[in-house]
Each structure stands twice: as structure tokens, then as C-alpha cells.
Amino acid sequence: MTRFLAALAALVLAALPAAAAPGVAAASDLKFALDEIARSYARETGRAVRLAYGSSGNFRRQIAEGAPFELFLSADESYVLALARDGRLEDEGVLYAVGRLVLFAPEGSPVDPGRGMPGLAEQARAGRVAKLAIANPSHAPYGRAARQALEHAGAWGALEGRLVLGENVSQAAQFAASGNATAGIFAYSLTFTPAVSGKGRYALVPEAAHAPLRQRMALVKGAGEEARAFYRYLQSPAARGVFSRYGFSPPGP
């Protein structure tokens, strides 16, 4: 019996470092970039983090309700600043990247991303866009930016009734890349995977077409040393290099 208890204790102790890995809430546009950063972080430091991806609005809500995340990487700054005002975060955190939008069309789509948003507007008015996938503008920053870009191109009226809304930006990308939607407007960072880039053509949406996607991160109040270490690592040149390889622009001063 004693031996059994000792074995059990050893098992629990062995499992502890994994259990202590801090929870990180990350916007879904970071999916591929942050996975890679977490891998190199684990390789270099031997430390682990638990990553959860979802829409930033969703995480804002969950953190406000006390969800056990220690670090929040939002796809825009308003959610982080709002949580900071509510006293949920240590401070207002830092900008870590600026996101970009792409217009994506799957194989066989009548939309030619090379002709940009005006081309999309034209096809929409001709009735050739059956479904356009974007993230839900009511709680996903990339959805809000996509809406602004559509309004900027004068295509919102023609396309409003044709939208399919992803629960987060990576579901919007999945809707479009699977060919189920005629086109999609989502995060540039999500095109850096063969699962998306191999399924169609895409082009960047001009930055002037929407409010900048200034992505901000901050530590949640009560965050532990492990979360702090990862937070510092995310601001290192190595992590910034990965962000820029996934199409994020560096944050301004």
C-alpha cells in the first residue's frame, strides 16, 4: 500500500509541471504563428504553455468572468484596454503585432483576388458571389475589419445578405478554403499554411481600407512566473521574427 501511494505521489509530481503550464488565450489569427513560437520556446527553455485559440471577444468575455488564463493575446487592442480598465489585467500590456487582411478565393471561384476589393464589389453586383465568409463582426476583430473593408469598397450593401459568419477568423478561413463559400476575407497570417494557401488564390487588402488591426497582449492579474517568462519571450527578436514570417507587421513605437 505504501509503495502504491509512493508510486501515485511520484506520478502526480511528474504530472505537475505540465499542469502548471500557464493558460494562454490567443486570437485565432495567431494559430500557426503562435504554435511555432511555443515550439521554439519549449525547445529553447524546456518550458511549456497551454494555448487556447478563439475569437478575441469571446476571450474578453471569459477573462472578465474569471477564466483561468494568465496571458491574453488579442487580435485588437480594444478588448485588452477594456479588460485593463475593469482591473482584470496587470496593465495595458504591449502591442505585439499589426495584422493584415486578405481577400481569398478558392479554386474555381469567379472572384479574382488579384483585382482586389473593387473586383469583388463588381462580381457581387453581378450576382456572382453566392457566399462570402468573414468572421463575426460583433465579436471578432478581423470580422469588424472585414466589414470596414467591404464598406470602404462600397460592397457592403450588395454582400450583406450573402455573408457567412465564422465564429472566429479561422472558421471563416475554413469556410472559404473548403470551397463552401465563393470567397473569404480573413487574416493574412492564416494563409501561411498549405491547408489554406494550396486551396486557392489570395491578395492583401490595402491597410487604408480598415482601421488598423493593432494586436495587443497583456498579463492577467495574478499571472505566475511561467506566464511572465513567455510574455517576455513573445517580445524577443526571435518571436518577432516568427510573427513577421507569418505576415504580421511589427508594432509601431
Q: Footprint of other proteins on this chain (CB under 8 A)?
A: 55, 57-58, 61, 106, 130-131, 133, 136, 138-139, 163-167, 175, 178-181
Closest contact distance (angstroms) between CB of 104 and other proteins is: 14
When the beta carbons of 149 and 177 are compared against other proteins, the nearer one is 177
When the beta carbons of 67 and 98 are compared against other proteins, the nearer one is 67
Closest contact distance (angstroms) between CB of 63 and other proteins is: 13
Closest contact distance (angstroms) between CB of 131 and other proteins is: 6
When the beta carbons of 174 and 215 are compared against other proteins, the nearer one is 174
When the beta carbons of 128 and 228 are compared against other proteins, the nearer one is 128
When the beta carbons of 62 and 197 are compared against other proteins, the nearer one is 62
Per the structure block, which three cell numbers stand in for 242?
516568427
When the beta carbons of 138 and 244 are compared against other proteins, the nearer one is 138
Dist CA 213 CA 215 (whole Å): 6
Closest contact distance (angstroms) between CB of 32 and other proteins is: 21
Task: List, as one string, the DSSP characters of the chain.
Answer: -HHHHHHHHHHHHHHHHHHHSPEEEEEGGGHHHHHHHHHHHHHHHS---EEEEE-HHHHHHHHHTT-S-SEEE-SSHHHHHHHHHTT-BSS--EEEEEE-EEEEEETT-S--GGGHHHHHHHHHHTT--S-EEEE-TTT-HHHHHHHHHHHHTT-HHHHGGGEEEESSHHHHHHHHHTTSSSEEEEEGGGGSSHHHHTTEEEEEPPGGGS--EEEEEEEBTT--HHHHHHHHHHTSHHHHHHHHHTTPBPP--
Closest contact distance (angstroms) between CB of 193 and other proteins is: 18
Closest contact distance (angstroms) between CB of 237 and other proteins is: 35
